[in-house]
Amino acid sequence: MFVKNCWYVAAWSSEVSQEALFSRVLLNTPVLLWRDAQGQVRALEDRCCHRGAPLSRGRLENGNVRCLYHGLLFNPEGECIQVPAQDRIPPNARVRAFPVVEKTNWIWIWMGDPSLADPASIPDTFWLDDDAWKYREGYLHYGVNYLLVTDNLLDFSHLPYVHPTTVGGDESFANLRPTIDNLANGMRISRWHLSSPPAPFVRKVTDWTDPVDRWNVYDFLVPGILLMHSGSAPANTGAPEGNFENAVEFRSAQAVTPETADSCHYFFSQAHNICIDDPQVTATIHQILIDAFHEDHAMIHAQQKNLQIDPDFEMVPVGLDAALNRFRWMINKRIEVEKNSASPAAHGQGAQPETVQLNP
């Protein structure tokens, strides 16, 4: 049901400490996260191999975790190293350990075949740990299948309709056909809206009223990672040619991670590179994002409710669906490859659809 052999975002770095055991369900699996004595993040299945109690209800003992139901003790590799009242430790007394990598404030986890976990394949989100950029960490829980959230993120034509007073703006934005370019592990979606009114959120952090050139260019990667460069610049100052000198720029990192078949985690941030010494600007941008993402949250949950009422409902595809259809194809292909492979392949193989160029 999920792609396993890939890196998922499990948590913000700030969520996991040396003092407490942190639990989160990922891909239908309860996962325990904590930091060992060196501060390194560790991940085990949060289900004791004895009788299934959550290890997150246990306690840390010198970097090891003791289950506080009947007292079994596990090391960070998941091996049981002590069973009360007996010397012999059953050979199968262990819980799964997952590869984890902490990189620029995100904790990435690999839920598939550990031998395929290559940290080099983790996307670059440099702005999450760069003094030139400021942001606040965001998280939302969704009670819907994660693909309804990735659908939403793959079609920005919803911006003026769902977000008219936050990140949306002029409805002519919806009439723009994006350019969609294939990437090895996803796609790049580019939208340029030239000489348009500044969006509401840009008006909040500038005094601009004249037309701007506005862009959203983002990579959307399997399993559900959005990395975006966006912004606005006074119209005709050269932003489309790469001159961002007069621009307000944003770098967004967003990740959708399945929790169960009907729920998911949504991690997000919107970093800015103007007024970085003014915490009020960072707070304002973050609040606009929160407001906007609650608008998505409400719409997607309402959509989910309708879809659940009638599972036979058939959607009518339109051109706006090109990116999300391609992404769903990629996900299905990866799941199929993993299912059919004795040693599940880390990377989807097979023919890819042609590059979809939707610009006129």
187 binding ligand FES? (CB under 6 A)? no
Which of 18, 36, 50, 335 lies at the binding interface for ligand FES (CB under 6 A)?
50
- Measured from the CB of residue 161, what is the shortest distance to Fe ion in angstroms? 9
Which tokens in the block code for residue 150?
């990735």
Question: Of the two residues 66 and 328, which places its CB atom closer to ligand FES in the complex?
Answer: 66
201 vs 99, 100, 166, 291, CA distance in Å?
39, 36, 6, 11
Kindly state whether residue 72 participates in binding ligand FES, applying the rule CB under 6 A. yes
Contact 336, 330 (CB under 8 A): no
18, burial (CB in 10 Å: exposed 0-12, middle 13-18, buried 19+): middle
Among 1, 71, 118, 175, binds ligand FES (CB under 6 A): 71
Which stretches of the chain bind Fe ion, using CB under 5 A?
296
Q: Looking at 27-124, which runs of residues are DSSP E strands?
A: 29-35, 41-45, 59-61, 64-66, 73-74, 80-82, 100-103, 106-110
86 SS3 class = strand
Name which of Fe ion, ligand FES, none residue 48 binds, using a CB cut-off of 5 to 8 Å depending on partner kind: ligand FES
Give whichever of 95 and 202 is closer to Fe ion, judged by the CB atom.
202
326 near 186, Cβ under 8 Å?
Answer: no
Name residue 184's amino acid.
A
**Nearest approach, Cβ of residue 17 and ligand FES (Å):** 23
Task: Report the partner that residue 90 touches, choosing among ligand FES, Fe ion, none (CB closer than 5 to 8 A by kind).
Answer: none
Q: What residue number has its CB nearest to Fe ion? A: 296
Residue 51 touches which of ligand FES, Fe ion, none (Cβ within 5-8 Å per kind):
ligand FES
Q: Select from Fe ion, ligand FES, none the partner in contact with residue 97, using the beta carbon and a kind-dependent cut-off of 5 to 8 Å.
A: none
**What's the closest the beta carbon of residue 303 comes to ligand FES, in angstroms?**
40
Judged by beta carbon, residue 84 or residue 319, the one nearer ligand FES is 84
Pair of tokens at residue 242: 């790469």
Interface with ligand FES includes 67 (CB under 6 A)? yes
Indicate whether 69 belongs to the interface with ligand FES (CB under 6 A).
yes
Element (H, E) at 326: helix 322-340
- For the CB of residue 99, give the shortest distance to ligand FES in the complex, in Å: 24
How far apart CA 193 and CA 207 sit, in angstroms, is 19
Q: Which residue has the tokens 């620029």?
A: 104
What is the side-by-side order of every strand in the sheet holding 186-196? 138-142, 263-272, 248-260, 225-234, 212-221, 186-196, 179-183
Could you tell me if residue 245 is left (phi over 0), alpha (psi between -120 and 50 degrees) or otherwise beta?
A: alpha
How many residues of this chain bind ligand FES (CB under 6 A)? 9
Q: Which among 25, 77, 63, 27 has a CA at the least distance from the CA of 47? A: 25
- Of 67-75, 127-135, 201-209, 262-270, the segment contacting ligand FES by CB under 6 A is 67-75
Centroid of chain to Cα 76 = 26
Binding flag, residue 51, ligand FES (CB under 6 A) = yes
Q: Does 208 bind ligand FES (CB under 6 A)?
A: no
Site membership for ligand FES, residue 148 (CB under 6 A):
no
Instruction: Please pick, from the candidates 37, 61, 70, 359, the single residue that binds ligand FES as defined by CB under 6 A.
Output: 70
> Which part of the chain contacts ligand FES (CB under 6 A), choosing from 5-13, 62-70, 250-258, 330-338?
62-70
User: Could you say which of ligand FES, Fe ion, none residue 72 binds, taking C-beta under 5 to 8 angstroms by partner kind?
Assistant: ligand FES
Q: Which residues in 70-80 are b (16+ Cβ under 10 Å) and which e?
A: eebbbbbebeb
Looking at the Cβ atoms of 54 and 238, the one nearer to ligand FES is: 54
Q: Nearest CA to 32 among 19, 12, 16?
A: 16
Q: Which does 328 bind (CB under 5 to 8 A by kind): ligand FES, Fe ion, none?
A: none
Asked whether position 48 contacts ligand FES by CB under 6 A, the answer is yes
Give 249 or 296: the residue with its C-beta nearer to Fe ion. Answer: 296
Q: Residues in the site for ligand FES, rule: CB under 6 A?
A: 48, 50-51, 53, 67, 69-72
